[in-house]
Amino acid sequence: MCTLRIEVVYMQKYIVLICVLLLGTSCSVREITINNESQRASIPVTTIKAIHKTVKESITLPVVATPSQQIPIVVPQPTIVKHVHVKTGDTVTKGQLLIELANDELQQGYDSLNNTVQQLYNRLEQAKTDSDITFNSRIQSLHAELTYSAEQFENLTMHSWKPIAAINKLVQIMSKQSELQQLNTQLTMATEHIQLLQQQVVEAKAALSEIETALRQTKLVAPSDGKILNISVKNDSIATPTTPIATLARLTPMTVIGYVNDYQVSELSTGQEASVTFNGLTSTYETKVKKVSQLIDPQSKMFPIEMSLGNDNEEIKSGSKGFVSIITSEVQDALVIPIDAILYNTGQPYVYIAHNGIAKKKKITVGIREGEHVQILAGLQEGQHIIVNGKERLRDGITIDIQ
């Protein structure tokens, strides 16, 4: 009996000890759970207010600068280059001599034909002078003499009949008439000769003009102000009509060309504001879209667009690469928040707002984006505090600590 009572007492002690241990463990777990809940309820976050401002949506794409005008310098026929007066990169003015072509044979032909023209002109002037002196003056004199002789003959036959004198006067009249007829014939021939000389002078001058044109073509001058982009010939080389021997470019203004895809081209139109930057240049150039092609480029399979830049100081070089940002839409007084504040759940955008120390989840509808901000079409109001930093650790209704 004593042994049984001792065992019962020991068993009661063990039971009490186990209960104490279980109670202690339960308290510890409860304290840990409370501590964890306390930590989760005070997640540190930072917020920013939703505000109203004007936002502009834009398309950014790479561009390249090209001269507004490129003029190829070509020769009319194969010829030898006599002298190149400029080099690549030179700035030239309209009418400035660029390249001289060989023209020795042309110059000799010009000099010879010019002498011929002068000789023909001298012969023509002499023929005109001879005609005036030899024929016109004599014909006028004969007409006067014939008139006088006719009057004398009339007096001899009407008033005082003198047969011998009348016959002599008649012979004189007939002689002068014969001479007059010969002079008229000679005058006709002289006139035809003068006309022939005049025609020869005209033809010779036309040929001379052609040679002058050919000579001018051997002196290739700048058709406008600009810069020499390239020279493909040198002294004593052969130039052919199939290849430009030089290219002149107008760098003021410059044309900026970019390419857009099928979706972007529908958002662009002429007159839209654009900002252009170039690699290596610090300036930003403001301009407008000048042309949006509706025909796809066969090489790039995209649609080319063009803008124009003044480039008065010519700091933009041909071939300079950069980027253009084109404003496609603008909304004034739009409600905006930082784009970093937005989270997504299966494509649905949402944010957390801070309200009385609690994080509240808000589904939103977004509009256009400008830089780091995005327009909010629905779901928020101005002045609400949007959680930016710490948002990834939040859930709806959790306690937050705004930093």
Task: Note the pLDDT tens digit of each residue in 253-294.
Answer: 899 999 999 999 999 999 999 999 999 999 999 999 999 999
pLDDT at 133: 63
Q: Which amino acid is at 41?
A: A
Is domain 75-101+218-243 classified as CATH 2.60.40.1120? Answer: no
pLDDT at 72 over 50: yes
Please name which of 244, 217, 241, 275 lies closest in space to residue 59, comparing C-alpha atoms: 275
Please name which of 167, 168, 315 lies closest in space to residue 227, comparing C-alpha atoms: 315
pLDDT at 214: 80
How many Å separate Cα 318 from the centre of its chain?
11
Task: Sort residue 168 into left (φ over 0), alpha (ψ -120 to 50) or beta.
Answer: alpha
pLDDT band for 233, please (50, 70, 90 cuts). Answer: very high
* Tokens 């339960």 found at: 26
| Multiple choice CATH, 43-69+250-403, 2.40.30.170, 1.10.8.10, 3.60.9.10, 3.40.50.2300 | 2.40.30.170
Please name which of 28, 64, 363, 87 lies closest in space to residue 232, comparing C-alpha atoms: 87
Q: Region 207-224: what's the mean pLDDT?
A: 86
pLDDT at 370: 84
**51 against 5, higher pLDDT:** 51
Task: Note the pLDDT tens digit of each residue in 158-201.
Answer: 555 566 665 666 666 676 666 666 666 666 776 777 788 888 88
**354 vs 403: CA distance, rounded Å:** 12
- Report the run of H or E that residue 390 belongs to, with start and end: none
Please name which of 49, 42, 53 lies closest in space to residue 386, comparing C-alpha atoms: 49
pLDDT at 254: 92
Mean per-residue pLDDT of the chain: 81
pLDDT at 197: 81
Q: Region 88-92: what's the mean pLDDT?
A: 91
Q: Region 27-40: what's the mean pLDDT?
A: 43
pLDDT at 37 over 70: no
**362 vs 224: CA distance, rounded Å:** 65
Please name which of 82, 17, 44, 116 lies closest in space to residue 219, comparing C-alpha atoms: 82
Taking the CA atoms of residue 167, residue 169, residue 174 and residue 175 in that order, the dihedral angle to the nearest 10 degrees is 120
pLDDT at 185: 67
**218 against 72, higher pLDDT:** 72
Whether 345 contacts 358, CB under 8 Å: no
Task: Note the pLDDT tens digit of each residue in 389-401.
Answer: 989 989 999 999 8
pLDDT at 403: 84
pLDDT at 376 over 60: yes
Q: Region 287-312: what's the mean pLDDT?
A: 93
The one-character DSSP state at 223 is S
Which of 29-38, 48-57, 87-96, 191-200 has the weakest average pLDDT? 29-38
Helix, strand and coil content of the chain, in percent to the nearest 5, comes to 40, 35, 25
pLDDT band for 119, please (50, 70, 90 cuts). Answer: confident
Q: Which amino acid is at 310?
A: G
**334 vs 378: CA distance, rounded Å:** 11
Work out the percent of the chain whose per-residue pLDDT is above 70.
76
Taking the CA atoms of residue 208, residue 214, residue 219 and residue 224 in that order, the dihedral angle to the nearest 10 degrees is 100
Which of 102-106, 165-169, 231-235 has the weakest average pLDDT? 165-169
